[in-house]
Chain A
């Protein structure tokens, strides 16, 4: 059945739903669909599932090359764990395929609804960064297609400068058509979990230092003050060594049904949420086997959870501060956040390891990383973000492009002094709202 043609195109939103920019969405179904047969007059940008938060996956009046239709699994070798797949395959699809075969992702972020292409383009990290490094460390090679029609294979030994520019290259260097990723073996879906309560950053750092686990991350209360300041739960996990279930996950049917009104998230509701979350774990320590789904992807259980923030959306902030200046810097940030009373329930803190990131523009670096989200309250939220960016800069840290909608060109260029070197690899047909902003060609969205 068909309908009459209409002119209006769907709007593509990032997960933060801010900013909102009109663009044309061009779905790609085959790796040969690019370059487009009718070359667009506008600039192009590959996009995946739109899980980055700010404007790194947006381009006003551009052509967004939507890759999720290119989701084929092209080859898998169970002897080596190497999977070759098209770039639009999601981590969810890979898990559905790999877990029943006794394999798992080498690195996973907090959602499985991201594409392999997006994982490479943002050189994502996970709870095992301190031992495994970034996602790009586990990418053996990929094909890069450029808008001039050329395409070539990139790896750490082949076209290595293109490999380095494309890993963490925010989709700007060309379209990744397929990639090879080395998966890791598991014997069960289960994770041996241990949660430990802590008070203060010093305790958190001590727990990080003394944990020998593959996965470590902490949830931190960004609302409470006084004796509860910087309390949190330190979470450790390892893939269990005891053979167990390897079934494929069931698909979650829960969808957050409505855009909540702006007043739903306020100082009091967030305080209540943070207290509840902290006290959900009754004792000082809690240990036992848990399934990988709630361990890695607690929020994936509710589709479209970003609607909690309403139509106006949310702002994410993630920085990494060097070890030396990190502790005092994080404390200063937390104080500022609690005073502003804007923080919400997704504050996460982790110590990154020393494993070098393979991308020229990769975000992770040795140090302490803090990630949180804020509802958008004009002035107030933007001011707070400006302060956090300032502290980040003073501490010699940097911010994460995939979670940013607000850093200035000056800040970005200080965080990533290699940006001009990177710019030489950008596809002349490509651009993004983020890149326009951080190169001073586009004002910050209000």
Chain B
């Protein structure tokens, strides 16, 4: 389907205080959407909610939750469905970059990255897939990363969590697209956010507002996989094309 649809009006944001989620939510708020915002830190969540209500959100409910706690997911998601009277779009935006060097020394650090970025998403998307499949509509939009396209020594634990997520989303899409449910994998490159504040900015860094505009467009256009900004599709095509024997010698 290629026609543009009106932007969905009921949105659940998981990890709503992440910079990319917040910028995306501002666009939905300005169009008068109803929102449920899930985040870990109460005062941050409150600031985001106030901003979205000021910008025009019809409603914004804040729920404080640690998404690592997968046992709490079913109740949390049911609460969100009830607050909104049904969900049109679920946006998964929570995640951690982790510390690669630490994860190499300490399995617990690697496991924490996998739990937050991958296992919690498996739990959340699993529930949401069943919910939307029964409704025969809806969109699950998940912020993954270009880092999941190929493992590199500088961040392969983070990359593996996102790579696993990408494969999982491919499978869910294959299962429920035919039921009218869109599964959107969003692969940002460098984005200027608190997560990347320790990195030296370069010409490839995108602003969250620009990334958000592209995410909203991808939701409207019912895309499957989107690189943001699109230059990353070409960059990652090239990165994936490097032959293994050469790739293993590179410092990436």
Contact = CB atoms under 8 A, between A and B. Distances in A.
Interface string B191-213: 00010111111000000000000
B237 to A, nearest CB: 14
Nearest to B200: A6
A2 B155 contact: yes
Interface string A1-16: 1111110111000000
B50 A30 contact: no
Interface hub of B47, B48, B55, B97 (most chain A Cβ within 10 A): B47
Nearest to A9: B200
Contacts of A31: 47
Nearest to A31: B47
Contact of A1 (B44, B155, B197): B155
Contacts of A86: 47
Given A31-B47, A32-B43, A72-B47, A1 B146 contact: yes
Interface in B42-86: 43-44, 47-48, 50-51, 54-55
Interface stretch (A36-44, A73-81, A222-230): A73-81
B54 A73 contact: yes
Contact of A97 (B48, B55, B100, B200): B55
B132 interface: no
A97 B55 CA distance: 7
Given A1-B147, A3-B154, A27 B50 contact: no
Contacts of A9: 200
Contact of B54 (A10, A30, A32, A75): A75
B107 to A, nearest CB: 20
A29 B191 CA distance: 14
B199 A5 contact: yes
Contacts of A76: 54
Contacts of B145: 1
Nearest to A71: B51
A69 B19 CA distance: 9
Nearest to B53: A75
Contact of B154 (A4, A8, A10, A72): A4
Interface string A70-94: 0011111000000000100000000
Contacts of A2: 97, 100, 147, 154-155, 158, 196, 199
B189 interface: yes
B118 interface: no
A48 to B, nearest CB: 16
Contacts of B155: 1-2
B28 interface: no
Contact of B199 (A6, A73, A74): A6
B54 A3 contact: no
A47 to B, nearest CB: 15
B50 A75 contact: yes
Interface residues of A, number: 22
Contact of A30 (B47, B55, B188, B201): B47
B94 to A, nearest CB: 16
Nearest to A70: B47
Nearest to A251: B209
Contacts of A32: 43-44
B54 A74 contact: yes
A30 B44 contact: yes
A97 B201 CA distance: 29
Nearest to A5: B198
A72 B48 contact: yes
Nearest to B188: A1
Contact of A27 (B48, B51, B146, B194): B194
Contacts of A4: 154
- Most B Cβ at <10 Å: residue of A2, A69, A75: A2
A29 B19 contact: yes
A10 B199 CA distance: 10
B51 A1 contact: no
B138 to A, nearest CB: 29
Given A2-B147, A27-B194, A72 B50 contact: yes
A71 to B, nearest CB: 8
Contact of A74 (B51, B194, B196): B51
Nearest to B204: A1
Counting chain A CB atoms within 10 Å of each CB, the highest count among B55, B146, B188 belongs to: B55
Interface centre among B43, B50, B147, B155 (most CB of A within 10 A): B50
Contacts of A97: 54-55
A27 B214 CA distance: 24
Contacts of A72: 47-48, 50-51, 54
A74 B158 contact: no
A74 B55 contact: no
Given A29-B19, A32-B43, A1 B50 contact: no
Interface in B120-147: 145-147
Contacts of B146: 1
B123 to A, nearest CB: 25
Top 5 A-B pairs, shortest CB-CB distance: A72-B51, A73-B54, A1-B147, A2-B155, A6-B200
Interface of A: 1-6, 8-10, 27, 29-32, 69, 72-76, 86, 97
Given A1-B188, A3-B199, A10-B201, 12 more contacts: A1-B146, A2-B155, A2-B158, A2-B199, A10-B200, A27-B194, A30-B43, A30-B47, A72-B48, A72-B54, A73-B51, A97-B54
11 contacts: A1-B147, A1-B189, A2-B158, A2-B196, A3-B200, A27-B197, A30-B43, A72-B48, A73-B50, A73-B54, A97-B55
